[in-house]
Amino acid sequence: MVANLESAVYGEVFEIGKRVPVSGRPVAFADDRELPGSRGHLENRGESSIFNPVFREAQAKAPSRKTTDALAKKQEKALELSKSGKHDKALAGLLEVLKAREKAQGPDHPDALDTKSHVASEHGMMGNHDKSLAVYREVLEAKNKVLGPEHPDTLTVKHLAAREMSLLGNHEEARNVYGQVLEARGRVLGPEHPDTLNTKHAAAYETGKIGRHYIAVDDYMEVLEPRERVLGPEHPDTLETKYQIAIELTAIKNHDEALIVYRRVLKDWERLKGPEHPDTLSAKNQVAFSLDKLKKPDEALPVYREVLEARERVLGPAHLDTINTGNLLAEALEKLGRPDEALAVYREVLKGREKTLGPQHNDTWATRRDIDRLSK
């Protein structure tokens, strides 16, 4: 998947719709740099927690080294379970660690708050975004008190809370919170710090989600230039920003320029990630979509076929990305005056949508209408 948190979240776009994370993880993906305790996160911290007076007070009441080491190992084991996709077991393990740390060290101890942040993340990865947001808000309140509102750790939690708002569809609220984090990170870390650019990228995404696509293009461009310079033109974050620019160009129906960007990203992802990586297939699907919108269904058709065949192998025939590509393929066949072939593809799409979305979903009914229309 894409490397950063925002990206993981955004997934695939058909026309200007929602991108579906191919892994099933809600986040976009969580950006490891944004998770407490990660190497990148620790490198980016400002004032160390150890110098905070609240931390020193808690340290005086600290449990034995043996106990803290055992809890650290238990948390590490839980996070390994999370990496392997066993989020229910990971959550159970983290909750045990959290209970023990809160009892031994207090609920506002940095270790307890670190564990609580991971609990919030696991809720999000299991699709329980309401619960995830609620836990992040509890952590944020404590970190505001313990570390201060502009401490890098506090800003990290605030960023992650905004991500959950986005996943709940609260894009205006998420955009406002990202804006607050962006302003603070710009002051504390600098305007070109990777974390600052990460938040600016996320804010641009929310701007697009509320329909301000021209502004989103400008905002993404302000992220792209420093990412190319600081991270390099082939860094995963840089390429993701390019991809999102193309998505916004598609939204404003600038399909010529969108096609150019999609092709550039596709070329890089084919080389860096492989021709059948889900992200590569997303970019390839968008190339076909742009060709289709430019009234070149004959050029789009073979590309759609390649994407469909690859997605059936990689994701399976019942995955929404696979089904959506099948639907676009059927539409292209219709435009080329091949209704019998289109009808056969629509019937496969219907089977997939009935299984994955249910018989009463709007998309399922739309496919039934397409079949009825071509069957007359």
What gap in Å lies between CA 108 and CA 331, rounded to an integer?
56
Return the pLDDT at 56: 61
The span from the CA of 300 to the CA of 304, in Å, is: 6
Q: How far apart are CA 250 and CA 161, in angstroms?
A: 29
Class of domain 253-376: mainly alpha
Label residue 42 by pLDDT band (50, 70, 90). Answer: very low
Mean pLDDT value across the chain = 88
pLDDT tens sequence across 215-273: 999 999 999 999 999 999 999 999 999 999 999 999 999 999 999 999 999 999 999 99
pLDDT digits (tens, 9 = 90+) for 114-166: 999 999 999 999 999 999 999 999 999 999 999 999 999 999 999 999 999 99
Domain extent listing, the chain: 253-376
Q: What is the DSSP letter of 18?
A: -
* Token pair of 343 as six digits: 């009808």
pTM for the predicted model, two decimal places: 0.80
> What one-character-per-residue DSSP string does 3-65 give?
SSHHHHHH---STTS----TTS-------GGGSTT-HHHHHT--S-GGGSHHHHHHHHT---H
DSSP string for 197-238: HHHHHHHHHHHHHTT-HHHHHHHHHHHHHHHHHHT-TTSHHH
Task: Answer whether 24's CB lies under 8 Å from 315's CB.
Answer: no
pLDDT, tens only, 175-195: 999 999 999 999 999 999 999
> Are residues 28 and 6 in contact, defined by beta-carbon separation less than 8 angstroms?
yes
